[in-house]
Structure formats: C-alpha cells, structure tokens
Amino acid sequence: MAGGKETPRQKMIGMMYLVLTALLALNVSNAVLEKFAIIDDTLVKMIEEDDKTNERKLAGILGSTSQDEKVLAAKKKAEEVRKLTKETVAYLDELKAKMKKEPDGAAIEGEELVTNTNRAEELMLDSQKPEEGIAFEKKITSFVNELNKIMGLKQPFPKLTRKAEDFEEFKNNTNQLDKTFLQFTFEGTPTMAAIATVSQLQTEVMEYEAVALDSLFAVAEGVQIKFDNVVPMVRAESNTLVAGQEYNADLFIAAASDVPAEMFFNDKPLVVAKDAVTGINMGKIKFKTSGGSYDKNGLAEASYHVKINIKGKPYEEVIRYKVAKPVAKFESESASTLYLECGNEMSVSVQGLAESSGISLSAPSDQGKVIQQGPGKFVLIPTRPQMDVRVSVNGSQIEVKQFKAKQVPSPVAKLQVGNGEYDVKRGIPPGTSIVRLVPDISDETFKRQNAKDAAYRVTQMTLQITGKTPITLNSGTIELNKYGLRPGDSFSVFNVQVVRSTWDPGDADNKPVNAKLEGVYVMGK
C-alpha cells in the first residue's frame, strides 16, 4: 500500500482506512462500528485460508527430490520463512486477545466490545507504560528485517510500520503527517477497528510470506525436472533365448521430460530426437564393441560414460556391460580341412551376432586368398599346407582360425567303352570304334564339396600298339579303326598328362595333376 502495484486485497484494506478515517471524524453509531466486527471476521477467515495455502506451498518446496545445492538452500529458507511468519501471526493473535480484555483481565465481549472506544488506544499508546505498543512496532519491524535477511532479494520487502506519509490517501493530510506509526494506527481508534487493523496487518504478513515462498518454489521448480511422459519399461537379462530357457526381466516405470536436454556419450554430443512410440526424447547411442581381457567364461568387462544436461544441471552415469568373446563358426562338409588350390566354400557366422553382413575374412597373400560371395559366404583358396584365416567383425579382428590344406585326391584311369567301362575279362567288344581314357577319383566328399575343382581330363598321352611305333595323342580319345586294331590285338597307354578344372574363374581349366595313369588293354574276340 506504499505505492507501486497493489493487489485487490491491498486496495480493499486501503479503502477500509479511508472509511475508518471518515468515521473517526464523525459521531459514529454502533451500527457502523459493528461493520468492523464483520470486516475483522472476514479478515480472520482470509488469514486461515492464507495459512493453509502457504503450508501447501512449503510442502511443494520440501517435496522436491532434487539434491541440487540451490534446491536444498531453498528448502531451508522456506522452513525459516514459515517459522518466522507463524511466530509473527501468533504474536498478533495474542495482541488482539489483549485488546479484548480489560486491564484487570476481564473479557470485553459482544456489544460491549463493539462499542468500546478506548481499550486498544490505552493498551498501545499508554503514556505511562507504552511497552505493548513499542513491542508491537519492534515485532513488525523485526519480521520484515528477518524476512529480507533470509531471502536476500535484490528488491527487499518494504516496511509494514507505515505512517500517513506512506499512504497515497493521507500524504497531504496535515492532521496525520506528524503522527508516529503507533499514533497513526491506534490514536482515536475504536477497539473493534483496532482489532480489524491488526488482522489486516496479519494478512499483509501472510502475503509477504506467500511472495517469499513463491520465489523459493520457483527455484525448486526451476531445478526440479517435471516428467511429462511416463511409460512402463522392461529390462531383460537377455533378449535372445533358446526354447525352454527361462526369461528374466525387471519391470519398472520410466519417466521423461519434454524440457530440452543435451545428451553426451563419452563426452561427445548425441543427436536427440523424439521416439515415435513413447514420445520421449532420446539420444541414440551406437558404437562398435571391442574385446579386452576375457575371463574363463569368455567375458570381458567394459563401460562407457553418459551425461544429460537438463535445466543447467548435469546427470552423469558410467554404464557397465560385458562383452562376450566372439567365436566364429565355419560351416561346410569339412570345415577343418581344406584342399590346396581349390575353392573351399564356407558359411561363417559369429555367436551373438544377428547379422552376417559385418563379417569379413582375410589371409596372408603367401598362404592363399579369400573371395567373399555374400553376407557370411566365403571361398577359401589355400596355396600352402596351412592357411591362417583372420576373422573380423565390422573391421575389428576377433579371431584367427588355422586351417590345414591337403592335396587334391589323385585320379585313377578308367577306360570308357561306349556307355560302360573296360572289362578285363571280355576286353574291348568287337565293333567298338572309339574308347576314351577318363581320369576319375573315388573321394566322393571331394567330388561333392568341390565339384568345380573335381573335373579331370587328359590333355596328352602316348599310345603304343604292339609291333608299331608309339603315337602321341592330344586327348584321351582313341579311334580304334584308325589304327587297324583287330580282335586279339593289344595296346597300352603311358605318359598320360592330366589337368583339372578350378573354382576360380580367373584360372584356366588346365591345372596340372600329378598322376600316374597307364594301362594295357586288349581287343575282344
């Protein structure tokens, strides 16, 4: 009421003072004085409501779970403000109770109280013993000073011990300007009006407290995070299980705020985006794990650091996890043994890796080469008896697999006669015009697993017909009629040169094979 922005309540109290001043200048009736009893009753109810409201404000401040130093300080101040206010209001209640009693302690009640015009003035302005008035002024002054000390605001609370000059309505009233605070408040004031005046002062004390608590609540609320989204979350021990395995998980509530936040992974900022399912702002963490010192169970301890800055406060945590030692699994009919200079096809997977796209293989150039056909599909072509294959996942080596490589099976000679094979007992049937020397192998696994490397053919051989000069042939085909062979004649083949096909499309199908193929054959009769 000392100027500035006034609340509706302050304006109402100001009007009450104007009415009081007018009444004091008149010969007021009992009916008018009764109105002060009504005003006081209204003010007392307002004080009770303000007390409940401020108590709720205090609970709101104390209810903050933040351990921020600012919040902890705000809690302490709020408790001090509430205590100071209660003590001050209680003192003023006691003062009003004294105004309702005669000096000898007899109660002044009902109509007697309404019509009493001197008790409050005597109590507060007694020229002989003004202790009550002095204590009253000191108490109100002390309340404002203590409140300002607790709050330490840049703009302190103004004094409540106001004189006529502090009110716009009385600043030009020469009858009031020379009066002290106590004289201006109680001189010539009927007791009921004085009581209402003290009640009005109590409302101002409560209002000061409300402003202080609102300021402290803003501090607590400014640091405290309000959670706008609450969703159920499940943290499973493992999201990949084998049928029949027990599923274990923790169910809990996750809460998040829409307040803008900065998120960091190992001190590097993350892109924060709203999750489409939960509506929660999330920072996506993605990185390649690396191994370390694995224990006997094949597990290595690892961790990373995260930080979230929200409302100027950092929330930090070290997230610990375990890395399982990756084990590469090679699948083929004979995964442990390869064939030299052959395309050995392999399917490779890594335990715990859902996709095979990140798997890569390599080998020393002097031991062979690796050809990738697709995700997890490789061809190993060893050139030495041992091939050390390095297995990497997303560029990080996880294992070195050693393979033994053996020679391809040596072929045996089969003379193909028509649609069948040469029969030693019967010889070559009469009328046969052509026979073919065909290299063949008995290793069915090799023929099935390395079909592209198992096609043999004769590129040259020597034909020796009994009693004739040896003939060099550039294939395994022998035209019997061309050489005049008759029933009972015999011939032999030797110096047979054989090649085989290869898996590698970059090689010609003329890989020499070290094989001794020779034999003697007889024309049947």
Quick: pLDDT tens for 302-349: 888 988 887 667 878 888 878 777 777 888 755 567 888 888 888 988
Q: What is the mean predicted confidence (pLDDT) over 365-375?
A: 92
User: Contact, 250 vs 232, CB < 8 A?
Assistant: no
Question: Is residue 1 assigned to a domain?
Answer: no
pLDDT at 22: 57
What strands lie across the sheet with 261-265, from one edge to the other? Answer: 268-269, 261-265, 299-310, 313-324
pTM of this prediction exceeds 0.85: no
Residue that the structure tokens 């017909």 belong to: 465
> Are 217 and 255 in the same domain?
no
| 129 and 208 within one domain | yes
Banded model confidence at residue 449, pLDDT cuts 50, 70, 90: confident
Please, where are the H alpha helices in 395-502?
Answer: 444-449
| 62 and 113 inside one domain | yes
Whole domain around residue 351: which residue ranges?
Answer: 328-406
- State the Cα–Cα distance between residues 448 and 454, nearest whole angstrom: 9
| Any domain includes 2 | no
Q: Which of 324, 355, 375 is the last residue of a domain?
A: 324
Q: What pLDDT, on the 0 to 100 scale, is given for residue 4?
A: 39
Q: Are residues 332 and 303 in the same domain?
A: no
The pLDDT of 287-313, averaged and rounded, is 79
Question: 135 and 60 in one domain?
Answer: yes
Residues 381 and 424 reside in one and the same domain: no
The dihedral sign for the CA sequence 277, 280, 284, 290: negative
Total count of domains within the chain: 4
Q: Examine the domain organization and report whether 493 and 420 are in the same domain.
A: yes
Among 292, 324, 356, residue at a domain's last position:
324
Q: Examine residue 177 and state whether it is found in any structural domain, yes or no.
A: yes
Residue 141 within any structural domain of the chain: yes
DSSP string spanning 135-156?
A: HHHHHHHHHHHHHHHHH--SSP
Least confident of 292-301, 367-376, 420-429: 292-301
320 plus 469 within the same structural domain? no
Cβ-contact 405, 338 below 8 angstroms: yes
Mean pLDDT across 115-120? 88
Instruction: Tell whether 33 and 163 lie within a shared domain.
Output: yes
Closest CA relative to residue 99, chosen from 130, 63, 124, 70: 124
| Other beta carbons within 10 Å of 178 | 11
Question: For residue 517, which of 406, 408, 415 has the smallest C-alpha distance?
Answer: 415
User: What pLDDT is recorded for position 2?
Assistant: 38
H-only helix segments in 116-190: 119-125, 131-151, 181-186
Report the 10 Å Cβ neighbour count for 337.
11
Average pLDDT over residues 417-422: 88
Q: What is the pLDDT of residue 32?
A: 62
